[in-house]
Amino acid sequence: MIKPVGSDELKPLFVYDPDKHHELMHEARSLPSVVVSSQAAGNAVMMGGGYFSPMMGFMNVADAVSVAETMRTTSGAFFPVPLLCLLENVDAIRGAKRIALCDPNMEGNPALAIMDVAAIEEVSDAQMALMTERVYGTSDRDHPGVGTFNSQGRYAVSGPIQVLHFSYFHDDFPDTFRTAVEIRHEIAERGWKRVVAFQTRNPMHLAHEELCHMAMERLNCDGLVIHMLLGKLKSGDIPAPVRDAAIRKMVELYFPPNSAMVTGYGFDMLYAGPREAVLHAYFRQNMGATHFIIGRDHAGVGDYYGAFDAQTIFETQVPPGALEIEIFKADHTAYSKKLNRVVMMCEAPDHTKDDFVLLSGTKVREMLGNGIAPPPEFSRPEVAKILMNYYQSL
């Protein structure tokens, strides 16, 4: 199986030993504590599950700035985005050497992790501006990722952490949420050697489904891991339970047995386009995938990124040898009326726009809300039914 990033073995930060876990939970109740941002909580969950291995905790400001500029920490470790725990107020933990990081997304704000505090630093305006511009490619506060990143506070608390739970993801998505450790184990149990991963924050329509089949065939893969984001999205995106149900129905009906896993991870979407595409590849290697599909405007939002910036960044900015996972570059896929099948649009040079079945997201939502199924060339009827039920319930 492919090695994790930067190490021979995965380094999850969740405390699996039950006695140690019980001891730390008890200790957390007596420690100075702070409720972290949802984004920081997602970072802790990802570190707990081994997705961000070999990172051992939250970065200090020097490392975060270095990562924003070069994708490497000051010691040379590769990571594509700053891994920060930003706070608005640090009065409750000032001077403390060991603290509890509390979950903002669960009732009662239980302790999510314990941190050995290495530093508490104030991030300057210039440092925030630099990180914002380098990671998101814009300083526009209307960009949802930029707005979130800059609204968490200006104090960075750094240090190694021990993770105590997986926030609400484990409870709310017991059949879908999986750690990188668990996915690696399941890939091994299934006997898969070549594995392609597909990222989604949306339901999968026919073009997505066929893209996955296409990648599996061209890469000669044994299996596919459909890996959906379960954390917070921007307003208007379809909730995770609805996406989960739609994707599971598609896999049940249209994929052979033992060819696809439906899984999810606990993290809030960054909408950072190319930089987030690299992060996606990073943790897909850690979960055991040998290949990763990156399509048009991967992890993008609005018109902030070029259509294929998320593909070219692997050639132009990712340090050589930093990742072993291979990228499957995909163009926009759509149903061809001429060929009566889904194709990559770049592979049909004799086609005009009218030769494809193309529907805007707005048009599809309008149809579903009115109880009208999109054409079968766009969406499987069983998937459309689940989405119609959701939109008509709003």
Q: Is residue 352 part of a domain?
A: yes
Task: Report how far residue 297's alpha carbon sits from residue 277's, in angstroms, rounded to the nearest whole number.
Answer: 9
CATH of the domain at 43: 3.10.400.10
* pLDDT of 237: 77
Q: Contact at 8 Å (CB) between 180 and 207?
A: no
- For residue 232, is pLDDT > 90? no
Pairing relation of β-strands 223-229 and 195-200?
Answer: parallel
- For residue 239, is pLDDT > 90? no
From the candidates 134, 190, 201, 365, which is the catalytic residue?
A: 201
Q: Is residue 259 part of a domain?
A: yes
For residue 201, name the pLDDT band (cuts at 50, 70, 90). Answer: confident
Domain boundary among 139, 170, 201: 170
Give the tokens for residue 341.
């099948």
Residue carrying the six token digits 């420690």 = 31
Q: Is residue 136 part of a domain?
A: yes
- For residue 227, is pLDDT > 80? yes
| Structural domain of 382 | 176-393
Residues 289 and 304 placed together within one structural domain of the fold: yes
For residue 14, name the pLDDT band (cuts at 50, 70, 90). Answer: very high
**pLDDT averaged over every residue in the chain:** 95
* pLDDT of 82: 98
At position 101, the amino acid (one-letter code) is L
CATH of the domain at 240: 3.40.50.620
Residues 208 and 238 placed together within one structural domain of the fold: yes
Residues 155 and 278 placed together within one structural domain of the fold: no
- Residue scoring higher pLDDT (235 or 127): 127
Domain boundary among 170, 192, 217: 170
Residues 163 and 191 placed together within one structural domain of the fold: no
Q: Is residue 3 part of a domain?
A: no
Q: Is residue 2 part of a domain?
A: no
Domain boundary among 142, 170, 198: 170
Q: Is residue 13 part of a domain?
A: no
* pLDDT of 34: 98
Known catalytic residue: 201? yes
Nearest Cα to 260, choosing from 246, 247, 273?
Answer: 247
* pLDDT of 283: 98
- For residue 234, is pLDDT > 80? no
The answer to whether the Cα torsion of 315, 318, 324, 328 is positive or negative is negative
From the candidates 202, 296, 365, 389, which is the catalytic residue?
A: 202
pLDDT tens digits, 129-183: 999 999 999 999 999 999 999 999 999 999 999 999 999 998 989 999 999 999 9
Residues 140 and 235 placed together within one structural domain of the fold: no
Q: Is residue 228 part of a domain?
A: yes
Share of the chain above pLDDT 70, in %: 99
pLDDT tens digits, 279-306: 999 999 999 999 999 999 999 999 999 9
Secondary structure element (H or E) that encloses residue 143, with its range = none
For residue 394, name the pLDDT band (cuts at 50, 70, 90). Answer: confident
For residue 361, name the pLDDT band (cuts at 50, 70, 90). Answer: confident
pLDDT tens digits, 40-59: 999 999 999 999 999 999 99
For residue 359, name the pLDDT band (cuts at 50, 70, 90). Answer: confident
Burial class (CB in 10 A: 0-12, 13-18, 19+), 138: middle
Asked, as a colleague might, if the bond just before 54 is cis with ω within 30 of 0, I would say yes
Residues 155 and 190 placed together within one structural domain of the fold: no
Residues 64 and 163 placed together within one structural domain of the fold: yes
pLDDT tens digits, 82-111: 999 999 999 999 999 999 999 999 999 999
Residues 148 and 197 placed together within one structural domain of the fold: no
Residues 88 and 105 placed together within one structural domain of the fold: yes
Known catalytic residue: 286? no
* pLDDT of 312: 97
pLDDT tens digits, 242-274: 999 999 999 999 999 999 999 999 999 999 999
Residues 319 and 205 placed together within one structural domain of the fold: yes
Residues 202 and 124 placed together within one structural domain of the fold: no
Q: Is residue 302 part of a domain?
A: yes
- As for how many domains the chain has, the answer is 2
For residue 231, name the pLDDT band (cuts at 50, 70, 90). Answer: confident
Residues 159 and 255 placed together within one structural domain of the fold: no
Three-state SS annotation for 87-111: ECCCCCCCCCCEEEEECCCCCCCCE
For residue 23, name the pLDDT band (cuts at 50, 70, 90). Answer: very high
